[in-house]
A and B are shown apart, each in its own frame.
Chain A
């Protein structure tokens, strides 16, 4: 079982709508959590990085939240655009070794 679970696996929304992607993790001890956006055929690009003490972080229309107690994170996308169509990957780093655990990603499709 993967230590980073993402949901939903895929999501289709209409342009202009909001959506929220979920990430649950069991990685311990926790160091930081990152959200990446990966366009088809491209490499992952960092959206946000959060440490244990940070509850929320924004990057434009992307807002990530972190609840370190429940080990959950979410990525909220506001006023979606066609260019938001991509895979969104949650990555959690453990604090005791050089280890980043990747979620399988959520495939988001934004339709006009």
Chain B
């Protein structure tokens, strides 16, 4: 069974450009999450989808970030226009149930490294 896959693995863009990151969750997982790790800091929550609906987007830093999950399958995270401080590793994770449940397993992708010059 395929795990959570993310694309691209690494993207280098200039300040002001646009980048779109893609995440394919594990098949059948309704819950999809985006996280970000900025250099030297801890991983932080960005947002949570349940199927195609945004359940919680309280972690989104500003309106330059737009996440979508049309059809409740894969998700995209677009950064437009990118700023220097957006550099970091963006992780996607998926789960079958509510992640707060002790038995709920959260599966992470390998991350998309974004470098903004």
Contacts and interface: CB of A to CB of B under 8 A. Distances in A.
B105 A46 contact: yes
Please classify the interface of chain A as helix (H, G, I), strand (E, B), loop, or mixed, using the class held by over half of its residues: strand
Interface of A: 2, 4, 31-32, 34, 36, 41-46, 49-51, 89, 93, 95, 98-100, 102-105
15 contacts: A2-B42, A42-B111, A43-B91, A43-B93, A43-B108, A44-B43, A46-B107, A49-B103, A51-B102, A98-B48, A98-B56, A99-B45, A102-B42, A104-B41, A105-B42
B59 to A, nearest CB: 9
B99 A100 contact: yes
Contact of A102 (B44, B98, B103): B44
Contacts, number: 55
A4 B44 CA distance: 12
A98 to B, nearest CB: 5
Nearest to B4: A43
